[in-house]
Amino acid sequence: MKKRWTLPVLVLLCGGLLFTGCRTPEAPPATPESAAENLAKGIRLDADITFRDIQAEAQIVRDSSGLYQIELTSPSHLKGLSATFDGQTVQISYLGFQFDVDAADYPEVSLASSIAQVLDEAAAGTAESMTKTDLGYVLTGETDSGSYSLYLDLETLAPISLAVPDLELSCTFSPIPESSVSSAPEESL
C-alpha cells in the first residue's frame, strides 16, 4: 500500500518544483541609480516642446559620452535648426551654417541646454528625489534653469515628460528607433 502512494507523491512534488522554478522573477524596484544607468547609456527621443508661447517638435539624441544634438523638426521655418553641445560648448547649425554661441545670450539655446542639464543630472544620478506615481517615476531637482520634474516610464525608465516651471518649459517625449534619427551627434565641436 505504501508503494502505491510514493510514485504519485514524488511526481506531484517534482511537478510543483518545476512550475515554481519557471516563474518569472519580479523586476527590482527602480532607483535613482537604475534610472541613471538607463539614461547614461544614451537616449533617442521625439519631443513635443512648449517654451513660453513657442510650440515646437524636436529630435533629441544623447550619446553615452553626454554629447547632445537637439534638432527642430517643426515649426517649418525652423526645421533643421540644430544645437550640438557637450555641456560647455554650444554649436548651432542651420541651412549649412555653423557657429558657436553662448547659451545665456539666446533663450532658444537656453531651452536646449536646459533640457540637456536635466537629462544629464538624471543620468548622473544626482536628482534630489525620485518618487513613484501612477504616471511614472518622478525625478525632481534643480539646475541653473530652475526646479524641474522629469517623469520616467514605469517599465523602461525612459523619459516621458519634463517640466521646468521657471522657464515656462514643458516637454513630452517618446522614444524613437535608432534608424529614424536624422544624424548622430558629431564628435567634434
CATH assignment, 32-178? 2.50.20.10
Pick the most confident of 21-30, 79-88, 91-100, 164-173: 164-173
Region 60-81 average pLDDT: 90
Which of 4-8, 54-58, 112-116 has the lowest average pLDDT?
4-8
User: What's the pLDDT band for 7 if we cut at 50, 70, 90?
Assistant: low
User: What's the pLDDT band for 121 if we cut at 50, 70, 90?
Assistant: confident
Region 83-93 average pLDDT: 82
Q: What global pTM score does this model have?
A: 0.74
pLDDT digits (tens, 9 = 90+) for 19-36: 555 555 555 666 667 777
159 within 8 A of 150, measured Cβ to Cβ: yes
Q: How far apart are CA 46 and CA 61, in angstroms?
A: 9
pLDDT digits (tens, 9 = 90+) for 137-184: 999 999 888 899 999 998 888 999 999 999 999 999 998 875 544 444
pLDDT of the residue at 101: 82
Sheet holding 90-94, edge to edge: 97-101, 90-94, 82-85, 68-74, 54-62, 43-51, 169-175, 159-164, 146-152, 137-143, 129-132
Each domain of the chain, given as residue ranges in start order, spans: 32-178
Q: How far apart are CA 81 and CA 59, in angstroms?
A: 11
Enumerate the β-bridge partners of residue 170: 50, 163
